Structure 1
Amino acid sequence: MNHRTIETQVLIVGGGPVGLAMALELRYQGIDCLLVEQSDGVIDHPKVGTVGPRSMEIFRRWGLAQSVRDAGWPADHPLDVAWVTAVGKHEIHRLKFGSHAERTLPPHSPESEHPCPHHWLVPLLTKELGIAPAGPINLNCRLESLESTQQGIVGQIKFLESGDTATVEAKYAVACDGASSLIRKTCGIDTLAHHPTRIFQNILFQAPELPEILGARRALVFFMMTPDNLRYPLRSMDGVGLYRLTATPHEDGTPRDSEKAVKEAVGIDTPIEILSTSLWYLTHRVATDYQSGNIFFVGDSAHTLSPSGGFGMNTGVSDALDLGWKLAAVLQGWASPQLLDTYQTERHPLAVAAVEEANLNLERTLKRTLPPEIMLDSPEGDRARQQMTEKMQHSDVNREFNAPGIHFGFYYESPAIATEPEKPPVQKPDEWTPTSYPGSRAPHAWLEANKSTLDLFGHGLVLLNFGDRDVTALIDTCQAKNVPLRTYQIDDREIAKIYEKTLVLVRPDGHVAWRGDDLPDDLDGTIDRIRGYF
C-alpha cells in the first residue's frame, strides 16, 4: 500500500451531477481541482429526470447543451404531462408541451429544458471532465477525513481498489456528498426542516412494448389518480421503454409489491420487467450554514426538497455556478476572500424559496380529492372524470411545470450587488419579466444567429454599453485593480429596451452587479464591492 501527497486548489467530494457541475465551472475558470467519488460512477437507479432551463443555460456556458440534447431522448417523443386513472385507461387532463422536434425556444432564453436522466447525465459529464489521470475525477475513492486549517484544507483519501492512500492539500473543499452529508455533520452544521418528512418508493421497470401501444397517448410524465393507492408520477426515463413509478410504501414502512403496483399503474396487458425498487425519504431541509472555514456545501448537502417541479438538481447546479466563479476570482487574486461569504447570502434564500414552491406542488397532489367513481367504466364514471377535468382546467396545475420565476426570476441580494432606491419588480413563480435590476440574471436577447447576450458572460466582468458613454474610467479602474473586464458596444434599440439602462455591468455568472445611465460617482468603491472588499 502506497501513500502520496496531492496538491490542488479545490477538493470536491461527491461525483453526482452537482459535484460534476462544480468541477466543470472550476475548469471553465481555469482552476485546478480534484474530485473524489466513493462509488464506481454507475447509475443503476436514475433519480434526476430533466435538466431545467437555467441549468441548460449553464451547460451551454460549458459547451455541453447540445451534448445533453443528444444524450438519447427521442426527438419525437411527447413532453406532455397527463393525469390518468392508469396509463392505458382513462385520461383526465393533459398539459401539451409537444416534442423536442416540435418545440420552439422560449423568448426569454437561448435554451429550453430537456430530458436527460441521471444515468445519461452523469456519464456524459464524467466523460467531459475525464477520469484520473486524464482528468480530475477519482472513482472508487473515499474521503477518510477532512480538516479545515488557516492555510486551507487537508483531506485524507483512500483508493478502494488498490488500497493506496493520499493526503490532499488544497485551499478549499466543496462538499457535494448528498443529503446525509457526512462532511456537514462532522462540521456540526444543522439542517432545518421546513415540512414533515415523507417516505416514498421508486420502482424502476422496463415495458418495451408500451410506447408503441400508447402511440399518440405517450407522455413524459403520467400522474396516477387512483383514489386508494397511486397518485404520484410514472415517468418515462428514456422515451423508449424504461419507466420509473413513484408510490408510497405500506403504512408500516414496508415496500409495496413492485410488480402489482406497476401493473395497476400501467393498466395494459404488456410485458413488464422490474429492475429495482428503493425506499427514499423526502425531506424539506436547508442547512443553517453553507460554509465551515474553507469548506463549502453545495447541492443536496446544503438543501433537500421535493422533486415536484424539478428544482432539486437545478438549484444545486446554480449553487455550483455561484460558488465556482467566486472561488476562481479569489484564487486568481482579483477578489477578496470576503466575496466567498456572499455564497450563502445569495443562495440560501433561493433554496428556501425552492423548498416552499416544491412543497406547494407536492401539497397540490396530496390534497386533491379523488372520488372513487372516476375509476368506473360507466356513465357515472364519465361524469366524475369530466368534473375532475373541469376542476383541473381551472386550477394552477400548470405552475408545477412552468415556473420561470423560480428558474430565472430571482434576485441576489448581498454586499457585492449594487443597491437602488427603487424596489425590484415583483416576480411570481409562474409569471416572470426579464429585467436588468441588480442581482437579477441578465436578460437574454439574440445578438445574431445562435449568439445570445448570455454568451458574452463567463470570464471576469462584462460591461454592456447601449449608448455612446465614455467608459475609459471604468477600464482604467479595473486595470489598476487587476480585475478582468470586457466591454461591448450594443447598438440595438430593442435589446437596449430590455436592459433598461445605458450601462449594465455583469458578473461572471451572468448576474447584474450594477447598472446606470452614467458611470457611478464612486467608481472605485463600486468595483471594490463587486470583488468582495466591503
Structure 2
Amino acid sequence: MNAPIETDVLILGGGPVGMALALDLAHRQVGHLVVEQTDGTITHPRVGTIGPRSMELFRRWGVAKQIRTAGWPGDHPLDAAWVTRVGGHEVYRIPLGTADTRATPEHTPEPDAICPQHWLAPLLAEAVGERLRTRSRLDSFEQRDDHVRATITDLRTGATRAVHARYLVACDGASSPTRKALGIDAPPRHRTQVFRNILFRAPELRSLLGERAALFFFLMLSSSLRFPLRALDGRGLYRLTVGVDDASKSTMDSFELVRRAVAFDTEIEVLSDSEWHLTHRVADSFSAGRVFLTGDAAHTLSPSGGFGMNTGIGSAADLGWKLAATLRGWAGPGLLATYEEERRPVAITSLEEANVNLRRTMDRELPPGLHDDGPRGERIRAAVAEKLERSGARREFDAPGIHFGHTYRSSIVCGEPETEVATGGWRPSARPGARAPHAWLTPTTSTLDLFGRGFVLLSFGTTDGVEAVTRAFADRHVPLETVTCHAPEIHALYERAHVLVRPDGHVAWRGDHLPAELGGLVDKVRGAA
C-alpha cells in the first residue's frame, strides 16, 4: 500500500475560494493539496464579477493581470439598466463606463473585473499547478491529536490513498458534507428561494443593442422575469435568471423564457438550464478542532451585489496567514480562533446587505401601463425610475463599504480606542482592524504592495524606536519588515507616526508613540496574549 501523502493543509474543493486559499498558502510557502471531485470544467458559469478587494488579493498572489486580460472586451459597457425587455423600453440606467474608459478609484489600485467562472477556473488551476488534484473524492476524515487523517479516491483509476494533513479546510459548497459531519448547523436567516439560470448564446444581440448595451439588464416583465439578464463574455454569451415562484415556472420552456426577455427577433441558442436554491446561511461555527470551513461551506448569500465569492476569498486571505503562522511556530495559541471571530461578522453583514439588494428587486412594483408606448407609458416609466433612484439601487453596484469597510474588532487587534466618525459613507481608514489604505508610492507601486507576507511597521518621518520593535518581533520569531515613508499625503491618510500592518493587510495597531512594552504588543498581535 502506498505511504500516506503528507501535507500541511488539505483543501477540500477546487472552486474559486479553495483556489484562493491555495494561492495564499503558496505565497507563504506552506505545503498544501487541493482535492476537487470534478474535472474542473465549468459548463454553466455562475460567478461573473471579481470584486475590488478580491482583485487586490489576486494582485498580491500574482494573477490580477491574467484575470483582467482573460477576454472581457474593454469597450463593453459595464452599466446596469432596468428595462421592460432587452431591446424594449429602458426605464433607468446606472452608467458605469467600460473597462477601458472608467477611472481607477482613488481607494484601490484594482477595480472590479469581469471574468466569468469558465475563464477564471482554468486560470486559477494553472496558477495552483500540480497541487490541484481533480477527479479526486474525499471519502472520510478523522481528527488526531496533531493531524487530520483523510482518505481520498482517484476517480480515474479507483485507487485510494491516505492523506495526513496538519489542517483540513473545507470549501465543499453550500450543502457541505464536512460541515454536517462536524455537527455544525447553518440555520437559514431568510426564506429559501428557487431560481433558474438559463445560459444562452445570442451572437447578434450586442450589435442590435448598440449604445443601449449593458452588463446587467433588470427585467420588468413579471414576478418571475424581474431578475437580471447578464452579459457573461461581452460577445454573445448571456445568463437569464428566472424566479421560480410556483411549480409551473420550473417547467416553462427555457427558449420561450429567453424569447420573452429579448425584444429582438434574433438568433438564440439555449445552452443549459439549471435550477438552484438560494439560501441565506451563516454557520454557527467556522471550525472544529483542526478542520475549518470557508466559502459557501461557511456562508451562503444572495448573489445580488456580487458579495458571495468575494466574501469567501476574503475569508481565505484571513485564514491563510493564520495557518501559516501556526505551522511556522510563531503564532500564539489564540490566533486560529480569531478566524471565526473576524470573519463570521463579515459574513453576516454581507448576507444582510445582499438580501437588501434582493428585496429591492423582489418588491419592485410593475405598474400597469409600464410597457405602453406613448406619453402615458413614458410618465409611468419616469415615476418608476424616480423610485429606483430613491431606493438606493446604485448601492448594488458601488458598495465599497462592503468590499473594503470591514473593521475587525478581535482579540489580536490593539491600539488606542477609536471611534469611527460618520461621514455619510465609507472612506479609507488606518484604524486598527481596518484594511490598510491604498496610496501610490510610485506610478505603479501601491502601499498595498508592501503588505502580504509578514508584519510591516510603516513609520512616517521617524525611525525612533524602530530598532527596538525589530528586536521584539525577532525575539518571538515573528516576521517583520520596517518601512519609512516621507510622503506627507500618505502620512495624512494613515494619521499616525507608526502603523503596524498584519500579513493580510489589515492594521494591527497604530500610534504616534511606540508602546513601552513592545513584547506585549507582539504577543497581542500574534494571538499569545
TM-score, length-normalised on structure 2? 0.98
C-alpha displacement at 1:378, in angstroms? 3.3
Instruction: Please report how far the alpha carbon of residue 3 of structure 1 lies from its aligned counterpart in structure 2 after TM superposition.
Output: 4.4
Equivalent residue, structure 1, for 2:271: 275
The question of 1:191 aligning with 2:190 is answered: no
Q: Which residue of the partner structure matches residue 259 of structure 1?
A: 255
Q: After superposition, give the CA deviation of every residue in 1:439-459 in whole Å (9 maximum; x if it has no partner).
A: 000010000011000000011
Q: Deviations over 1:315-351 (max 9, x none)?
A: 0000000000110011111112420000000000010
Give the 3-state SS of the residue equivalent to 1:143 in structure 2.
strand
Q: Secondary structure at 1:247's aligned position in 2?
A: strand
Range that drifts further, 213-222 or 379-388: 379-388
CA distance, structure 2, for counterparts of residue 342 and residue 145 of structure 1: 27
> 2:526 aligned with 1:531, yes or no?
yes
Correspondence for 1:473? 468
1:170 and 2:172 equivalent? no
* Structure 2 residue 212 is the aligned partner of structure 1 residue 217: yes
2:76 alignment partner in structure 1: 77
1:23-69 CA deviation, whole Å, 9 max, x = no partner?
Answer: 00000000010110000100010000100000000000011111110
Q: 1:148 Cα deviation (Å)?
A: 1.5
Deviation at 1:250, TM superposition (A): 5.4
Corresponding residue for 1:202?
197
Residue 128 in structure 1 maps to residue 123 in structure 2: no
- Does the residue aligned with 1:509 lie in a helix, a strand or coil? coil
Residues 533 and 427 of structure 1, relative CA distance in 2, 3 Å threshold: farther
Note the aligned Cα RMSD (angstroms). 1.2
Instruction: Return the offset for 1:258.
Output: 0.6
Q: Could you tell me which residue of structure 2 aligns to residue 364 of structure 1?
A: 360
Alignment partners' CA distance in 1, 2:422 and 2:402: 13
Match of 2:511 among 511, 516, 528: 516
Distance 1:469 1:460, change over 3 A: same
SS of equivalent residue, structure 1 residue 30:
coil
Determine the structure 2 residue equivalent to 1:405: 401
User: Is the 1:34–1:137 Cα contact (8 Å) retained in structure 2?
Assistant: yes
Q: Indicate the SS of the match to 2:10.
A: strand
| Structure 1 gap ranges (5+) | none
Distance 2:73 2:436 in 1: 32
Which residue of structure 2 lines up, in the alignment, with residue 341 of structure 1?
337
Q: Deviations over 1:452-490 (max 9, x none)?
A: 000000111100000214111101111111111111110
- For 2:53 and 2:386, how far apart are their aligned partners in 1? 32
The answer on whether the counterparts of 1:234 and 1:243 sit within 8 Å (CA) in structure 2 is yes
In the aligned structure 2, how far is the partner of 1:228 from the partner of 1:390? 21
Structure 1 match to 2:498: 503
Separation (CA, whole Å) in 1 of partners of 2:415 and 2:258:
54
Deviating more after overlay: 150-159 vs 244-253 = 244-253
Partners of 1:327 and 1:427 in 2: how far apart?
Answer: 36
The within-5 A match list for 1:64-463 is 64-130=63-129, 135-249=130-244, 251-252=246-247, 254-426=250-422, 431-463=425-457
Q: 1:300 & 1:381 partners in 2: Cα distance?
A: 43
CA-to-aligned-CA distance 1:44-103 (integer Å, 9 cap, x gap): 100001000000000000111111100000000000000000111100001101111101
| Contact 1:75–1:101 (CA under 8 A) maintained in structure 2 | yes
Match of 1:490 in 2: 485
Aligned residue for 2:250, secondary structure, equals coil
Q: Tell me the TM-score normalised to structure 1 length.
A: 0.97
| Number of aligned positions between the proteins | 527
Give the letter aligned to residue 227 of structure 1: S
Aligned equivalents of 2:423 and 2:405: distance in 1?
A: 6
Instruction: For 1:361, give the aligned amino acid.
Output: N
Q: Give me the whole-angstrom Cα distance separating, in 2, the residues matched to 1:185 and 1:427.
A: 43
Alpha-carbon distance, 1:391 to partner: 2.1
Alpha-carbon distance in 2 for matches of 1:64, 1:236: 23
State how far apart, in whole Å, the 1-side matches of 2:422 and 2:2 are. 56
Distance 1:255 1:397 in 2: 31
Output the amino acid matched with 2:200.
F
1:289-312 CA distance string (max 9 Å, x none): 000110000110000000001000
Q: Give the Cα separation in 2 of the matches to 1:185 and 1:289.
A: 12
Paired AA for residue 245 in structure 1: L
Secondary structure, aligned partner of 2:528: coil
Report runs of 4+ in structure 1 exceeding 6 Å deviation.
none
Change (3 A) 1:187 1:228: closer
Question: In 1, are the aligned partners of 2:415 and 2:511 still within 8 Å (CA)?
Answer: no
